[in-house]
Amino acid sequence: MQTKRIKSKDAFVLIEKRAELGAKQSALVRLGSVFLALFAGGLFMLIIGYNPFELYGTIISGAFRSGMSFQATVKIMIPLLIAALGVTLSFKMKFWNIGGEGQIIMGAVFASYFALYQSNMPHWLLIIVMIIAGAVGGGLWALIPAYFKSRFNTNETLLSLMLNYIALNIIVLLRDGPWADPESPGFPKIARFAQNAQLDKVFGVQIGWIFGIVLVVLVYIYLRYTKQGYEISVVGESKSTATYAGMNVKKIILRTMFISGAIAGIAGMVQATGSDVTLATGVAGGVGFTAIIVAWLARLNPIGIFIVSFLFSVLEKGSSVMQSSYGISTYSADVIQGIILFFVLACEFFIFYKLTFGRKEGGK
């Protein structure tokens, strides 16, 4: 059992790894963290002078109060769900891919080329080409940290993170240069996509939600029932074991990261062609980072990711309605979201570890 000791003057705290909690106990801990989060968030609301029951009611009703509100909630959910599925593959392999943001952006960039300059194709052929282009763009961008990790054992966390900023500035370069909208000389931007290059809508929402559901099923099957999914798990548990079993670890890393980035790239394509209908610097909008939280809260389970991403979207949409309805500062709304997320994330610590207090130094 691994034990970490944090000493004080008279006593110290032991952080001890727990025996694995059962599913029911883990569910109770997570449920308890939700209630604590709501309580702490309510205290903050009281401090700033609002009735917490009214604000929480507004958050919930704001996401569901009308058909348009629900559609907006689903619209927020689409790129978050797809991006979270993407990072799940790399995290299963314990490859710390923090570059989802850049992979989303590059998927949008590759797809946008066809939306801007090849929009005369038949509509559905163009959509298919843009999906493939988005996947290729995100996948190739993800291969960069994967190659350097497998070839030179570089730090994938830092490299994938830095690539996010390079990808963002590629959009700036295109916006201010070769892809600049000639009809907007005073304000640099990329032209709005033609109708033929925009995703269709089903039930009032762009069809990216269908792509998301299909990807949930495909990623679940891939991880659980395929040889490649099994290889990802083995590499994640121990690269030495994978090598001993005859697996080509470098090939698995490259393949998995390409697929991971490709899924994130599809999220970028969907956001650019379905929601923004142009290529802008806000195409990723922090989704790549939020997707990491969603994936971890769902324990890298595709079904769980679907549920958690929906709850995140309800919180995001409801908070914006709360902000506009009560005139609350943007920062206050962000603090409320942060408090809730902090408690929910912190509960994961207590599922795997426990604190022992009051032992005297030198005691048993």
Evaluate if residue 7 carries a pLDDT over 70: no
SS (H, E, C) the chain: CCEEEEECCCEEEEEEECCCCCHHHHHHHHHHHHHHHHHHHHHHHHHCCCCHHHHHHHHHHHHHCCHHHHHHHHHHHHHHHHHHHHHHHHHHCCCCCCCHHHHHHHHHHHHHHHHHHCCCCCHHHHHHHHHHHHHHHHHHHHHHHHHHHHHHCCCHHHHHHHHHHHHHHHHHHHHHCCCECCCCCCCCCECCCCHHHCCCEECCEECHHHHHHHHHHHHHHHHHHCHHHHHHHHHHHCHHHHHHCCCCHHHHHHHHHHHHHHHHHHHHHHHHHHHHCCCCCCCCCCHHHHHHHHHHHCCCCHHHHHHHHHHHHHHHHHHHHHHHHHCCCHHHHHHHHHHHHHHHHHHHHHHHEEEEEEEECCCC
Q: With 80 as the cut, is the pLDDT of residue 145 above it? A: yes
Q: What digits encode the pLDDT tens for the residues 152-201?
A: 999 999 999 999 999 999 999 999 999 999 888 788 999 999 999 999 99
CB 189 within 8 A of CB 280: yes
2: pLDDT strictly greater than 90: no
Query: Once rounded to an integer, what is the mean pLDDT over residues 313-320?
Result: 90
Q: How does the average pLDDT of the chain come out, rounded? A: 90
Residue 153 to residue 145: CA distance in whole angstroms: 10
User: What percentage of the chain reaches a pLDDT higher than 90?
Assistant: 67
What is the average pLDDT across 325-332? 81
Of 346, 319, 342, the closest CA to residue 45 belongs to 319
* Residue 11 reports pLDDT greater than 80: no
Give the pLDDT of residue 243: 93
Contacts of 332 (CB under 8 A, 6+ apart): 48, 323
Residue 358 tokens read as: 């009051």
The residues near 276 (Cβ < 8 Å, ≥ 6 apart) are 282, 283
Lowest-confidence region among 2-16, 38-52, 315-329: 2-16
Average pLDDT estimate for 203-209? 95
In this prediction, residue 8 has a pLDDT band, given cuts at 50, 70 and 90, of very low
Per mean pLDDT, which range of 72-81, 98-107, 288-297, 352-361 is the poorest? Answer: 352-361
As a whole number, mean pLDDT of residues 343-359 equals 75
Percent of the chain with pLDDT over 70: 95
What pLDDT does residue 12 have?
64
Query: In the predicted model, what is the mean pLDDT of residues 132-158?
Result: 96
Label residue 358 by pLDDT band (50, 70, 90): low
Count of C-beta atoms within a 10 Å radius of residue 34: 14
If you average pLDDT over residues 322-336, what whole number do you get?
82
Per-residue pLDDT reduced to its tens digit, 244-281: 999 999 999 999 999 999 999 999 999 999 999 999 99
| Highest mean pLDDT out of 11-15, 169-173, 323-327 | 169-173
Looking at per-residue pLDDT, the higher value among 53 and 15 belongs to 53
**More reliable by pLDDT, 300 or 29:** 300
**Token pair for 207:** 């069809």
Assign 1 a pLDDT band (cuts: 50, 70, 90): very low
